[in-house]
Amino acid sequence: MARFLMLSNGMKIKLLFLFFAISFYGIGQQVALKKGGIIDQVSVNDSINETFALYLPTTFEVKKEWPVVFVFDMQGRGKQALSMFRKAADKEGFVLAASNNIQDTLTLTKNVLIASRMISKVYRMLPIRRTGVYTGGYGAGARMASLIPTFIKEIQGVISCGSSVANSEVLTSKRPFHFVGIVGVEDYNYRTMKSGKKLLYNLKFPNELLVFDGGEEWPTSEHIAKAMQSLKLAAMAKKYVPLDENYIAGSYNENIGTVNKLLNNDKPLLAYESLNQTIELYRHFRNTDSLKSSLKTLKRTKEFKVNSRSQNAAFFKEDLIKDDYVYYLAEDIQTYNYNNLGWWQFQMEELEKYSNKPNTFEKQMAARLKGFINALIADNIDEIKSMAPVDEEAVTFLWMLKTITDAEKVKPYLKVISRSSKVEDYGTALFYLEELFKTGYDNKAELYKLEDTALLRITPEFNDLVSKYLKY
């Protein structure tokens, strides 16, 4: 339950301002500053129609300065973005804020200006520690979060879930920031983020990569808390905040417990990553020679060597398959090669076979490759649509391909039906309509509102399919 911040009569005007600062200026409604609950619309100022979501941990008090994570969501879903960081922020003691106006349809310049106004507002409202200002996000939001330090020098670090640094070319060792990546082993970005560590180390950027056993998904609150833990320990190491021996000991034991749990679950490679991470985090606070010795011992075990060889073999195979995907997709787009859709269907069937094999690393490879091809198709759609004139047939071909590579999603089918109907290719539209129905689709209201399908919907064939599958 949210707890409201109580202000005594003796507090300074600055603290009184804290209580009254949060307002819905657009409708004149005052909202009390509360702890432990997300306030979803805090106005930036009177003259600009911009708002952000705000979260204060339950331990928040105005007598001390607090670190803050500005979370980015490229659809402006501030409250939703904060909800994913909320539990970790409460555990580790971080303020959270997220703009409701950041959009992937806006230019980078406009998004940076929106972010800058939000950050300035939070500075004015709350007792923020200026050496504890961070950004974070997931996917596209994480890429935006990693760009912000280039433009706003006060940013000390980034928590990036499922994405490497957005533009490594703009990084400079003169303005380093602390990068903490979090990624699942089945995420197609996993290997990119692993290789990105070398680049960051070469540029002398402090960085960690927290790896979990999962795919393209939000990490758990425990992993986000570990990322915040890394930033807090780094702040202590730099003497931005006083050393907290109890916190250091407690978090250290948590990390050692994670390593032991991974070993007990027969995951030596993840245990190795976690142990190596623990050594890096705590070398400033205690002697880690015993941990280094354990790391060497783990690397010499039969289980580690077998798993390492198996993973490297999967990596090698994955690289070859990715090269094929890139080559053949470019060729198929250029020639509108509908005849090759069967080859792509075969590729998806092959990945499904890998998914069902007992080899863990081949299963992970299959998941990464599925994510890779769908991301590659999406990137090509965006690129083609950004050019003038737009190659409409190429876009339609890619949506057709998406019905194969991402067959469980409804959107690709609807796109093909709509685009085919627009050019009066009703045979194609009806074929994909039936394929969509076979997936179990039954949203008649959505179907009847589909763009460019008015003439399709009056054909006997369309109504026969609706009658057959929807039983209306």
State pLDDT tens for residues 393-406.
999 999 999 999 99
What pTM was estimated for this model as a whole?
0.87
Please give the pLDDT value at position 472.
Answer: 61
Q: What is the pLDDT of residue 3?
A: 38
Nearest residue to 85 via CA among 69, 67, 65: 69
- Per DSSP, 219 falls in state P
How far is Cα 25 from Cα 10, in angstroms, rounded to an integer?
27
- Write out pLDDT tens, residues 123-162: 999 999 999 999 999 999 999 999 999 899 899 999 999 9
What's the Rg (C-alpha) of the chain? 26
- How many C-beta neighbours within 10 Å does residue 197 have? 16
Continuous segment of H or E residues that includes residue 16: helix 13-20
- pLDDT level of residue 32 (50, 70, 90 thresholds): low
Phi, psi of 72 (to 5 degrees): -115, 130
Does the pLDDT value for residue 51 go beyond 70? yes
Half-sphere exposure for 47 (CA within 13 Å, toward CB): 1
Per-residue pLDDT averaged across 34-62, rounded?
Answer: 92
Tell me what pLDDT residue 169 has. 76
Q: What is the pLDDT of residues 278-328, one digit of tens each?
A: 999 999 999 999 999 999 999 999 999 999 999 999 999 999 999 999 999
Q: Of the ranges 44-48, 235-239, 319-323, which one carries the lowest mean pLDDT score?
A: 44-48
For the chain, the average pLDDT equals 90
Is the confidence at residue 275, as pLDDT, over 70? Answer: yes
In one-letter notation, the amino acid at residue 236 is M
Cβ atoms within 10 Å, residue 402: 21
Q: 462 vs 472, which has greater pLDDT? A: 462
Distance CA 71, CA 85 (A): 8
Q: CA–CA separation, 244 vs 340, rounded Å?
A: 61
Give the per-residue SS3 of 279-321: HHHHCCCCCCHHHHHHHHHHHHCHHHHHHHHHHHHHHHHHHHH
**pLDDT tens digits, residue range 92-122?**
999 999 999 999 999 999 999 999 999 999 9
Task: Give the up-direction half-sphere exposure of residue 369: CA atoms within 13 A in the CB hemisphere.
Answer: 29
Is residue 180 within 8 Å of residue 158, measured between CB atoms?
A: yes
Q: What is the pLDDT of residue 2?
A: 40
Distance CA 200, CA 400 (A): 39
pLDDT greater than 80 at residue 5:
no
449, 146, 320: which is closest to 457 by C-alpha? 449
